[in-house]
Every structure is written in C-alpha cells, then in structure tokens.
Structure 1
C-alpha cells in the first residue's frame, strides 16, 4: 500500500466520519445566484449538510462514495442553505462504485437516485458530463465550489463559494503524494493558496462548463485529524469522471451496478 492510501485511510476518513460541518473553499468568492445551478447539498436526516454534489440528470445527483454518511436528502435550487426557498428531495437509492473501499484505493464516486424527478428551471440545471474518456492538460483552468468553512479554523458559512484552480500534472502529484490511486485528477492545493479541504467532498471540478472531477481527498493534520487548508505541500485529488462513463451510463439507464 503506497503512502497516499495509508495516509488517507488513517486521517481523511476519520475526519469525514466525525466532522461533517460542510465544505471549505479556500480563497474563493461567493458564487452568483444565477451560476452553477447544478450544485446540490447532500444532507443527513437532520437536514445537516454533509457533502456537496451536482445534478447530472432529472433523477440523479453525483457525489463522492466516501460521502455515504447516511445521506437522506438533496437540496437544490438555492445557493443559500438557510433560505426557506429551496427544493428538498429525499434520496431513494444510492449507488457506490462496486470497487470502492476507501479513498486511497480510488473509485470514489457515487450516484444518488432522487425520489422525485427534477425538471430544469431558472433555478435548477443539469451539468454536462464528459462523453468520452479524456485527459486534461497541465495548467488547464477549472473551478470547484462548495459550502462551509473558508479556512482551517474559520466558521461554517451558508453561501456557496467558488474558486479557480489549475490542473497539476500526474507526475508532480504522484511525487508529492508518494503515489496515486487510479483515475485521479489533481488540481489546486500544491504551490498555491486556492483549493478545497476535507468536508468539501462530492462537489464537482468544472472545466468549460463540464463536470470532469469529484472532490475526493486532501491532506489532514495528523495531530488533530482535522482538514489542513494551509496548502502548499500536496495537490488536491479529484475522481476522474471520464474514466467511469460506462458504469455511470448503466446506473442512469436503470441498470444495477
């Protein structure tokens, strides 16, 4: 087991299971109300935000497999989580990738089937997925968004925030982490002050209006097991959606995984 697997299993998962306060977009800005209308808040039975997600069809929201922390509802249609004017839909079924075990082994992808279909509107839109396997070039500009803390020791916030990040080469990412799980995109974090932290999981990495990645992992602080938003030693890791298109199509078409 390479270093990344060992580190993520010990620290990142411990944090995610015990501290589900929401996302932490670092050095970003509040997202405009008329943008990123595919964003979803995945919430537990108490209505607490546990992960981000994004609407990919009228019946499904995509998120990370490690967000299987008793997700019960999906909230759409408003970037402000405390607003009463939002659409709350119960989750009918969840489909984790069958090869998922822990974050460090990859396959960190999950589809949530909604109990009621969602129609596109002025407040809710789907986001496109890749139509074939692809590889992003180094330094491609992307965006990542989420709700919650904006720094390591900051307070939780309720407005969706977004930040721009650049793709980091697999070679640099592998060197910095000491290895990589399969099918990962690295962007933000390393050598910059922008990116995400633990708890922002499940949100999309967006490139040219397309969801190409899913927020998966970052470094945690060993002494506290809390997310470390004071970057600069390792890149952020995202699940590469284009590598799972066959599995995704089966689920969206109503076939079991």
Structure 2
C-alpha cells in the first residue's frame, strides 16, 4: 500500500511510515503542470525518505492534453506531440540522475490528467505524446515508462496499442477496491505481469501517529524505486 500527497513533508512522511500499512509513496519530481503550492523535494530530503525505508512511485507532471484547460499543454500535431513526449522523458531523466539515482530500469510515471477522450484529434495527439515518452525512456540506460491517470478519462487503455507501449500503468479508479486487477476501462488481459498500480481512493484525510494529511491511497503490484518491491504479503492489496 502507498500514498501520495501534494502537501507532504519529512515530518508527515515519517508519521505515515512508522507502524502504518504504507511502504511506498508517490514522489513528485516536477514538471510544468505540477501545482505551484505543492511540495518540492530537495535531494537531501529524498535521501531522508529513502533512509526511512520508503519506496517511490516517481511522478512527472508535465504538459497536458491539448483539449484541456491546463495552462501547459502539448501540441495537437501528432509529430510535435511525439517530440514533446521525448523532451519530457529527457527532463525527468535529468532530475532523477541529479538525485544520484541508479536510473537503469527505474520507473518513471507521467501524470496525465483526464481529457475528452471522445475528441479524436486530442486522443491521437495524446497517444503520440505517450509514444514519444515511452520511446525516449527506453533509450539506454533504459528506464521503465509508466503512465498515471484516470483509468477511463485519461484513455489509459488506448496506450496498449501504440508503437511503444508503456511498461506499466498507474490507474486512478476510485471505487475503494484494493485490487489492481479491478481497474475500470482496462481489460483483464492488459498489463498483467506486475505492471499495475491503482489509486483506489482520491483525496481524503488520514491520521497516523497524531499527524493528519490529505492523501490519495494506492495499491501497488508494479515497479517502484528503488526496486525490487520485496514485500511478500499483499496487505489486503491484490
């Protein structure tokens, strides 16, 4: 089980680690669409989190689909969007390398918020963007390319048929079911080999060790950093 939060801190992360069910956390590495009021982690702080024992779901919140209202959006041109996806992959790689991480096989997750998936031009541009993201992350030393988003509204299943298929998905499906096999709009046969994370509950307050934080809750059966995830008990997550 894991959590992610915009307003995290070292003290809050420690409270959510000690004698809690949590083993990983969403670690936001940056990007043009990452909230201005959200936590920016320093290299020293990331080191402290690792010393606690946390595994990470490294998230990058770059430009969003062109048919959204986000200030930072990628192009409607499929060719340009592809190049922009590659550029975002290079950006997250540079941040991870700057943290001193062993980037080989490290999972990197693109945070893709919901958009109008019935808009064919927008969907095609998004597929091309993700294609470029995955292609570039697979350039040696290759990382594992993931995509986060609403399991339906971010069109996650659409990326199962692009030229460079994401290595794993992180689907938001807020039905409260702690099972990565239960993801709305994702067929059972896609991303089956420990290739799924599930955000099963959206923002809500939780209190651990006297500290309250507004978090999203995750179930993980996919790659984390640093790997591998050695837990043998599913903790109610499947």
Q: TM-score range by the shorter chain?
A: under 0.3
Q: Which has the higher contact order (CA 8 A, sep 6+)?
A: 1
User: Whose strand proportion is higher, 1 or 2?
Assistant: 1
TM-score by length of 2: 0.26
Q: Which structure has more helix as a fraction of its residues? A: 2
